[in-house]
């Protein structure tokens, strides 16, 4: 199938992913208390199953079409990383806006296996979409994703009540450039932007001596279809793929319903401006999780573990 005009479909367009139909469905996807505590302590949580079987295959195929330039309306992507255009032999492929051009990526943002844990970690009952990303590291490719904080790129939205979901489409390892996190760095303040490509260690130029002493990355190796969740201030990055197979991932970024625009400029390319101070919303930022039906309510609610 093909999607309608960009941003016009604010609910799932296919039957690829299941929907929540009962409180039992919700309970099966909730995280354990120790997982929520781990996220609060370390700033990330890894190993949560989101895709498998036909859904994993469909998302892989969508990412392949985008990377090969075969998806319809590629011009509606929010952006493709400039460093990739400048030198694709040195820089990994990275784009924003896959949900606008591929039905599987469009519907993935609504998938309860991702949205229920994300809402729980944020302590929310209403979760709203921010944007998605695709990362593609070809075989034997030197491209890296340099150490960075996501929120350094997101200060046009406030307050900071965001979370990132990194869904890997291949088994990840040290060899193919798995994601690394710096535990505890989610408690650090916002850092200046030092770039996503090229110099892996450019962030060192903006760290204090104390931060440098605490900079002890941990490799997070995941199975295809698993997800890691991380805090918007978490320092993370990934190294080159030195294996003979691609390393692919799609990322979903979300925030609390009620987060507001902090700029009068368009928040993303091709998206109408939302005046400073107004809530983020509309067709480009749909609600993803809103368990308003009594059958989906849980007596414990969702406890927040996101620290600002």
* Residue 196 pLDDT class (50, 70, 90 cuts): confident
pLDDT at 67 over 90: yes
pLDDT at 303 over 80: no
The average confidence (pLDDT) of the chain is 92
Q: What's the pTM?
A: 0.93
Q: What is the DSSP string of the chain?
A: ----STT---S--SSSS----SHHHHHHHPPPHHHHHHHHHHSEEEEEE---HHHHHHHHHHHHHHHHT-STTGGGSSEE-HHHHH-TTTS-EEEE-GGGT-HHHHHHTT-HHHHHHHHHHHT-S-EEEEEEEEEEE-TTB---EEEE-SGGG-TTEES--EEEEEEESS---TTTT-EEE-TTGGGSPP-----SSS-TTGGGGG--HHHHHH---EEE---TTEEEEE-TT--EEE--B-SSS-EEEEEEEEEETT-EE--SS-SSTTS----TTSBP-STTS-EEE---SGGG--TT--------
pLDDT at 10 over 90: no
pLDDT at 302 over 80: no
State which fold the 37-260+280-293 domain adopts: Jelly Rolls (2.60.120)
pLDDT 10s digits, 41-59: 999 999 999 999 999 999 9
* Residue 299 pLDDT class (50, 70, 90 cuts): very low
Confidence at residue 306, expressed as pLDDT on a 0 to 100 scale: 43
What does the domain layout of the chain look like in residue ranges? Answer: 37-260+280-293
pLDDT 10s digits, 74-90: 999 999 988 888 899 99
């Amino acid at each position: 199938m093909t999607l309608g005009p960009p941003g016009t479909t604010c609910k799932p367009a296919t039957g690829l992913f299941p929907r929540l139909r009962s409180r039992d469905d919700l309970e099966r996807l909730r995280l354990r208390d120790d997982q929520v505590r781990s996220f609060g302590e370390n700033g990330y949580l890894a190993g949560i199953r989101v895709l498998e079987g036909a859904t994993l295959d469909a998302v892989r195929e969508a990412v392949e079409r985008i990377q090969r330039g075969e998806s319809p309306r590629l011009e509606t992507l929010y952006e493709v990383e400039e460093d990739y255009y400048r030198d694709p032999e040195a820089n990994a492929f990275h784009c924003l806006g896959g949900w606008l051009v591929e039905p599987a990526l469009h519907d993935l943002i609504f998938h309860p296996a991702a949205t229920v844990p994300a809402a729980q970690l944020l302590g929310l009952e209403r979760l709203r979409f921010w944007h998605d990303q695709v990362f593609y590291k070809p075989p034997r490719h030197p491209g890296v994703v340099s150490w960075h904080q996501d929120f350094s790129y997101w200060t046009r939205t406030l307050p900071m009540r965001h979370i990132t979901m990194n869904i890997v489409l291949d088994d990840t390892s040290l060899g193919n450039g798995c994601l690394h996190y710096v535990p505890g760095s989610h408690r650090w303040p916002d850092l200046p932007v030092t770039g996503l490509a090229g110099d892996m260690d450019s962030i060192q130029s903006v760290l204090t001596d104390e931060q440098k002493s605490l900079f002890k990355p941990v490799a997070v190796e995941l199975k295809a279809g698993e997800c890691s969740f991380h805090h918007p201030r978490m320092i993370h990055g990934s190294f080159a793929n030195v294996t003979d197979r691609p390393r692919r991932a799609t990322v979903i970024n979300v925030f609390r319903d009620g987060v507001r625009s902090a700029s009068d400029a368009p928040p993303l390319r091709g998206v109408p401006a939302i005046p400073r101070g107004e809530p983020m919303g509309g067709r480009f930022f749909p609600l993803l999780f809103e368990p308003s039906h009594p059958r989906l309510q849980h007596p414990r609610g969702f406890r927040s573990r996101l620290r600002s």
